[in-house]
C-alpha cells in the first residue's frame, strides 16, 4: 500500500512539473510550437530525476549513517568511512561477489566438461572390454590377448603411459604375461607377491586398488638398499606414479594389472574406479577362460587318471590309423584290464580302487613314448597304442610294465594293495585295418587270457 502511495505521489509531482513548465513556455513565447513544448517537458523530467536522485542519496546517507552508528556502538573501533568511500566499498564488495559467482559458474562448466570427458572415456573402456570379451572366446593367441588388455587399460586411465599384467603362480610369485612401454626382458623377472605395491600398501589384505604417487619414495621407505638399487636398475627412471589393481577370481588373487606414469601425483581417486571396473572385467574374462580350459580338458581327459578319455582317444586314433594305412606303417593296440579291482573296492572301498587305477595310469604313462597313445576306456579298462611296433616288441614292453608294477605296491590308509592287470594285443594290419576289427580281436584274446588265469 505504501509503495502504491509513493507511485501516485511521484506521478502527481511529475505531472505538476510538466504543467508548470508548459505554462511558463506559453507565457514567455505566447503561442508555443511543438519543439518548445517538447523542450519544456524534457526540462521538467530532468528536474524530476534530479529531485529523485537527491532523495535517494539522502536515504543512502541515512542508511550508512545508521550502520556507522551501530558499528560505533558495538565496537571500540569506528567504521572510519565517509559516505562516498562506504558507497564505493560496497560497490567493490558487490563486484567481488559477482566475480566469485562467475568463477563458480566457470568451475561448474569445467566440471561438466570433465565429467563428459570421463563418461566418454568409460564408454571407450566398455567398447574395449567388449572387443576383448569377443577375442577371448575366438582367439587362441593368449599373448595377443594379454597385450590388448594392457594397452586398453593404458588408454582408459588419464596420464598413464606404461602398463603390465601379471599372473600369480602357486609359489606366490608374480610372472608377467604382458608389458607395455617396458623392455620385454622384464617378463623374465619374477616378483615375490610380498614385494608388490599391493601387498606392502595393504599389508597383505589385497582386495582393492592402490595408488602410489611417488614410486621412488615408496620403494625407498619399504625396501632394503639392495632391493631399492635393483629396482632402480631394472625399471625406467622416468616412472613416478602407478595404480595397481588386483584381479580376483573366486575369492582368491589371480594376478595384477598395473598402469604407470612418468608424472608424479598423476592419478586420482576417479582413476581407481576405472581400474577396478577394468580389473573386475578382466577377472570375469580370466574365469571364463579357465572354464573353457576346464571344459576342454574334461572333453579330452579322464578326470580320475588324467589320461585320454574314450571319446577323445577314438577321435585321435581315427586320424592316426588313416596315416598309418596310407604309409604302410604297423602299430599295435594293447587292451588292459585291471585285475582284482572289484575285490579291492569290496574290501577297502571305492577310494582304494581309484587309488589303484591312478597308480597304474601313472606307471603306464611313464613307460610309453610321447608319440604313443594311452586312454581309459572306462571302469577298469585301459587301452594303449604303440606306433611303429610289431607284435613281439609290444608284448615285451607290456611284460616289462607288469614287472615294474609288481615291484611297486599301492599304499592306502596304511594298507598295502597289490596291483596287477591282464592284457591282450592286436596288430595292424595283421589283425585288422579298422578300429572295430582291432578292438574285437583284442577283446577275444583278453577273454582267453583271463579264462586261462581263472580271473
**Contact, 186 vs 179, CB < 8 A?**
yes
Q: What percent of the chain has pLDDT over 70?
A: 67
CA 332 to each of CA 324, 366, 384, 427: distance values in angstroms, whole numbers, following the listed order: 11, 18, 8, 4
What is the Cα–Cα distance from 414 to 313, expressed in whole angstroms? Answer: 35
Strands (DSSP E) contained in 121-272 are: 162-168, 173-180, 191-192, 210-212, 241-249, 252-261
Residue 454 banded pLDDT, cuts 50, 70, 90? low
* Confidence category of residue 396, pLDDT binned at 50, 70, 90: very high
Global pTM exceeds 0.85? no
Rounded CA gap, 422 and 360, in Å? Answer: 12
pLDDT at 330 exceeding the cut of 90: yes
Q: How far does Cα 437 stand from its chain's mean position? A: 54
Lowest mean pLDDT among 20-34, 174-188, 378-392, 397-411: 20-34
Residue 84 banded pLDDT, cuts 50, 70, 90: very low
Q: Classify strands 415-417 and 331-339 as parallel, antiparallel or unpaired.
A: unpaired
Residue 54 has pLDDT above 60, yes or no: no
**pLDDT tens digits, one per residue of 228-285:** 676 666 665 578 899 999 999 888 899 999 999 989 899 988 888 888 887 887 888 8
pLDDT (0 to 100) of residue 80: 46
Q: Return the CATH number of 310-452, one of 3.40.50.720, 3.30.70.270, 3.40.50.150, 1.10.3720.10.
A: 3.30.70.270
Report the alpha-carbon distance of residue 415 to residue 392 in Å, rounded. 36
Most confident of 62-71, 93-102, 385-394: 385-394
The mean per-residue pLDDT over the stretch 153-165 comes to 89
**What is the rounded end-to-end Cα distance, in angstroms, of the chain?**
122
Domain extents in the chain: 125-296, 310-452
CATH 3.40.190.10 corresponds to the domain 125-296: no
Amino acid at each position: 500500500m505504501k509503495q502504491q502511495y509513493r507511485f501516485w505521489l511521484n506521478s502527481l509531482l511529475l505531472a505538476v512539473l510538466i504543467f508548470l513548465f508548459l505554462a511558463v513556455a506559453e507565457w514567455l513565447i505566447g503561442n508555443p510550437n511543438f519543439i518548445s513544448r517538447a523542450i519544456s517537458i524534457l526540462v521538467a523530467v530532468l528536474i524530476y530525476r534530479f529531485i529523485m536522485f537527491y532523495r535517494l542519496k539522502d536515504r543512502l546517507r541515512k542508511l550508512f549513517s545508521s550502520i556507522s552508528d551501530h558499528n560505533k556502538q558495538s565496537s571500540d573501533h569506528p567504521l572510519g568511512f565517509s559516505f562516498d568511500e562506504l558507497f564505493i566499498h560496497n560497490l567493490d564488495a558487490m563486484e567481488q561477489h559477482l566475480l566469485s559467482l562467475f568463477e563458480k559458474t566457470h568451475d561448474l562448466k569445467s566440471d561438466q566438461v570433465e565429467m563428459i570427458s570421463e563418461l566418454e572415456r568409460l564408454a571407450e573402456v566398455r567398447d574395449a572390454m567388449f572387443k576383448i570379451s569377443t577375442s577371448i572366446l575366438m582367439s587362441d593367441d593368449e599373448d595377443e590377448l594379454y597385450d590388448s588388455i594392457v594397452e586398453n587399460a593404458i588408454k582408459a586411465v588419464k596420464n598413464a603411459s606404461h602398463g603390465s599384467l601379471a599372473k600369480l603362480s602357486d609359489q606366490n610369485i608374480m610372472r608377467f604375461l604382458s608389458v607395455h612401454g617396458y623392455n620385454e626382458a622384464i617378463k623374465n623377472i619374477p616378483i615375490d607377491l610380498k614385494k608388490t605395491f599391493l601387498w606392502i600398501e595393504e599389508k597383505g589384505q589385497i582386495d582393492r586398488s592402490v595408488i602410489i604417487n611417488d614410486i621412488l619414495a615408496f620403494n625407498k621407505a619399504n625396501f632394503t638398499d639392495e632391493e631399492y638399487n635393483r629396482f632402480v636398475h631394472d625399471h625406467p627412471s622416468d616412472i613416478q606414479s602407478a595404480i595397481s589393481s588386483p584381479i580376483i577370481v573366486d575369492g582368491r588373487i589371480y594376478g595384477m594389472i598395473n598402469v604407470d606414469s612418468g608424472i608424479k601425483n598423476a592419478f586420482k581417486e576417479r582413476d581407481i574406479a576405472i581400474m577396478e571396473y577394468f580389473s573386475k572385467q578382466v577377472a570375469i574374462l580370466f574365469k571364463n577362460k579357465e572354464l573353457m580350459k576346464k571344459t576342454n580338458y574334461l572333453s579330452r581327459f579322464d578326470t580320475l587318471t588324467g589320461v585320454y578319455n574314450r571319446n577323445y582317444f577314438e577321435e585321435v586314433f581315427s586320424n592316426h590309423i588313416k596315416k598309418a594305412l596310407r604309409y604302410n606303417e604297423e602299430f599295435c593296440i594293447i587292451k588292459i584290464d585291471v585285475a582284482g579291482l572289484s575285490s579291492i573296492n569290496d574290501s577297502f572301498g571305492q577310494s582304494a580302487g581309484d587309488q589303484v587305477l591312478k597308480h597304474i595310469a601313472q606307471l603306464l604313462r611313464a613307460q610309453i613314448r610321447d608319440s604313443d597313445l594311452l586312454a581309459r576306456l572306462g571302469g577298469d579298462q585301459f587301452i594303449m597304442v604303440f606306433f611303429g611296433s610289431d607284435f613281439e616288441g609290444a608284448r615285451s614292453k607290456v611284460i616289462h610294465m607288469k614287472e615294474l608294477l609288481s615291484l611297486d605296491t599301492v599304499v592306502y590308509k596304511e594298507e598295502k594293495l597289490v596291483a596287477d592287470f591282464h592284457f591282450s594285443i592286436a596288430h595292424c594290419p595283421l589283425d585288422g585295418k579298422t578300429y572295430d576289427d582291432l578292438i574285437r580281436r583284442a577283446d577275444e584274446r583278453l577273454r582267453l587270457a583271463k579264462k586261462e588265469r581263472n580271473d
